[in-house]
């Protein structure tokens, strides 16, 4: 297996990781990334196989678990109940209970609200140059998740700050200051959610928290700790990825002059291509639980492997000229939202937000243009912009 060295915080890599991925794929389905000390799956074939293979999962094997530093205990106490980090039997139980509340009917019912929020935000765009990321891309998903959960919409700034602080725990180059901010955010978020859950127990409403409280599967319900962690996960995972999806999509469309394709008729194809071409999450890891051969490579129990979603989505073996952006490319399943048992629960909502918001944006702002070349933030494993400076008349 060929070895590669590449710092994930190197400025050139942060702005454009795709040439590095191309070099990895040229070496085969798997390569070794020295900086992470990890075997990495870079091809679409290998990433897709690992996502769907139940011999691999997110939960850390017992003999690989490391002691948690005291200052991080509050954060990992919450993570201990996250279905994102669990496998059988807890994962399917938690996911099943959430799916009973997070229904397609509930998601589709948000469409008129997404449309109304989009128009309202555009109505309030400032004149001249402004940051579309903060004025548009950030606000749609956080307002919608507030309404979905049933928490006060006036809380959106706090929720956004808590989310941004907590997801720093997954970034390359994590510092003690980032950890302390994440822990403070966790404690504040948990305190707020615990109080709000108790209010909803006493006075149920037509919201996701109330639905989660009443959801039951095989005689079991979510515990309060599981419920709180699930609400935090839905906000953090759903919001963070959707913000980057919208920001990256607008940047890509403007840079490639693809505005004409951003219509109600063409948006499904266009939005899938933006997700494939520049996805919001580039790396996800899995642990091996039993000996398994994937694409000619044999994994042993306890092996950890990185799945490079951003690389898989540009694999020329799956997409002809995969490095090029083609707005009307025939849709093929990409890996932006994962696959298998851990397929993103919020994917239908994220896709709906893209497919509603983008055509309205480009219809109402036909002269929308980049003011300067946007820069990506140093937030790997995520991939999203620092800001999206635009002008609109």
- Domains of the chain: total: 1
Mean pLDDT of 267-288: 98
pLDDT tens digits, one per residue of 130-183: 999 999 999 999 999 999 999 998 999 999 999 999 999 999 999 999 999 999
Does position 112 have pLDDT exceeding 90, yes or no? yes
| Average pLDDT taken over every residue of the chain | 95
Provide the pLDDT for residue 392: 92
Of 274, 267, 276, 289, the residue nearest 56 (C-alpha): 289
pTM of the model: 0.96
Q: Would you state the pLDDT for residue 373?
A: 97
Rounded Cα–Cα distance for residues 22 and 280 (Å): 18
Angle at the Cα of 272 from the Cα atoms of 267 and 278, rounded to 5 degrees: 120
Q: Give the model confidence (pLDDT) of 18-42 as tens digits.
A: 999 999 999 999 999 999 999 999 9
Count Cβ neighbours within 10 Å for each residue of 16-28 and write b for 16 or more, e otherwise.
ebbebbbebbeee
Phi, psi of 133 (to 5 degrees): -65, -50
| Residue ranges making up the domain that contains 66 | 3-391
- Residue 220's pLDDT band (boundaries 50, 70, 90)? confident
Mean pLDDT of 310-318: 98
The pLDDT of residue 237 is 77
CA pair distance 272, 331, nearest whole angstrom:
7
- At 28 the pLDDT is 98
Residue 304's pLDDT is 98
Q: Say yes or no to pLDDT of 216 above 80.
A: no
Residue 47 contacts residue 59 (beta carbons within 8 Å): no
> How far are the Cα atoms of 129, 149, 175, 251 from residue 139, in angstroms, in the given order?
18, 15, 27, 17
Average pLDDT over residues 318-323: 97
Lowest pLDDT segment from 19-23, 102-106, 271-275, 290-294: 102-106
Report residue 364's pLDDT band, with 50, 70 and 90 as the boundaries. Answer: very high
| pLDDT above 90 coverage of the chain, percent | 92
**Cα distance between residue 250 and residue 242, in whole Å:** 12
CATH code: domain of residue 142? 1.10.630.10
Q: Which segments of 279-375 does DSSP mark as H helices, in order?
A: 309-312, 347-364
Residue 11 has pLDDT above 90, yes or no: yes
Residue 393: what pLDDT?
A: 76
């Amino acid at each position: 297996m060929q070895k590669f060295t590449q710092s994930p915080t190197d400025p050139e890599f942060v702005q454009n990781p795709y040439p590095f991925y191309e070099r990895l794929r040229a070496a085969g389905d798997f390569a070794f990334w020295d900086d992470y000390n990890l075997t990495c799956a870079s091809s679409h074939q290998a990433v897709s196989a690992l996502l769907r293979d139940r011999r691999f999962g997110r939960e850390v094997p017992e003999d690989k678990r490391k002691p948690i530093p005291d200052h991080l205990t509050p954060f990992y106490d919450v993570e201990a109940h996250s279905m994102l980090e669990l496998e059988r039997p807890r994962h399917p139980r938690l996911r099943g209970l959430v799916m009973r509340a997070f229904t397609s009917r509930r998601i589709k019912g948000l469409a008129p609200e997404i449309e109304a929020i989009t128009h309202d935000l555009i109505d309030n765009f400032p004149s001249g140059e402004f940051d579309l990321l903060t004025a548009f891309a950030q606000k749609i998903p956080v307002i919608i998740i507030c309404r979905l959960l049933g928490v006060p919409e006036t809380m959106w700034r706090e929720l956004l700050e808590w989310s941004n602080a907590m997801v720093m725990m997954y970034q390359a180059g994590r510092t003690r200051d980032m950890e302390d901010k994440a822990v403070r955010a966790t404690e504040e978020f948990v305190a707020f959610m615990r109080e709000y859950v108790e209010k909803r127990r006493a006075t149920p409403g037509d919201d996701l928290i109330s639905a989660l409280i009443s959801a039951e599967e095989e005689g079991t319900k979510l515990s309060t700790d599981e419920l709180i962690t699930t609400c935090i996960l839905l906000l953090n995972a759903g919001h963070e990825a959707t913000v980057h999806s919208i920001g990256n999509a607008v940047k890509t469309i403007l840079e490639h002059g693809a505005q004409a394709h951003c219509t109600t008729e063409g948006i499904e194809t266009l939005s899938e291509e933006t997700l494939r071409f520049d996805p919001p999450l580039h790396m996800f890891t899995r642990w091996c639980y039993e000996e398994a051969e994937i694409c000619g490579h044999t994994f042993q129990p306890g092996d950890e492997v990185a799945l490079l979603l951003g690389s898989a989505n540009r694999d020329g073996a799956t997409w002809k000229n995969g490095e090029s952006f083609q707005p009307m490319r025939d849709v093929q399943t990409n890996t932006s939202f994962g696959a298998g048992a851990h397929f993103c629960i919020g994917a239908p909502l994220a896709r709906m937000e893209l497919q509603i918001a983008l055509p309205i944006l480009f219809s109402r702002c036909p002269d929308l243009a980049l003011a300067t070349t946007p820069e990506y933030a140093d937030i790997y494993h995520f991939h999203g912009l620092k800001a999206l400076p635009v002008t609109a008349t």
